[in-house]
Amino acid sequence: MTVPIFTSSLIVRFYVDMAQKGNKVLDLACGSGRIAIPLAKAGKQVVGGDLSLEMLQRARLAAEAWDVKAEFVQLDMRDFDLGGRRFDTIVVAANSILHLHSLDWAACAWSSASAISIAGR
């Protein structure tokens, strides 16, 4: 399996900049870690969540190759519970949210609301 190359593209830079306030970041629909790994390289405590076990494995391999620490967990962004953990920033990058049906957006927002810190975004 090839490890993806993460560059400082504008979209990656956008999400890293958005997470400057605070330290804990949840990356929903994280896929291969395209956003989670640069966030971890920037010193953030990152949890990447995805429904696909294959994509989570790719993300773990990429994190190892880039020598960064990030946690990758299987979850459904429409309905997840991370045991009361709170995050300063929650990311649903690029077009990931568009894979949800309209009623699923509300479920994703509700689950995210339970995981965001009071001052989070």
The dotted CATH code for 10-113 is 3.40.50.150
What does the pLDDT look like over 10-35, one tens digit per residue? Answer: 888 888 998 988 899 999 999 999 99
Total Cβ atoms within 10 A of residue 106: 11
According to the 3-state scheme, what is the secondary structure of 22-50?
CCEEEEECCCCCCCHHHHHHCCCEEEEEE
| pTM for the full predicted model | 0.83
For Cα atoms 11, 74, 53, give the angle at the middle one, nearest 5 degrees: 85
Beta bridge partners of 47: 26, 71
Q: What is the largest CA-CA distance in the chain?
A: 40
Give the residue extent of every domain in the chain: 10-113
What does the pLDDT look like over 42-78, one tens digit per residue? Answer: 999 999 999 999 999 999 999 999 999 999 999 988 8
Question: Is the distance from CB of 27 to CB of 91 less than 8 angstroms?
Answer: yes
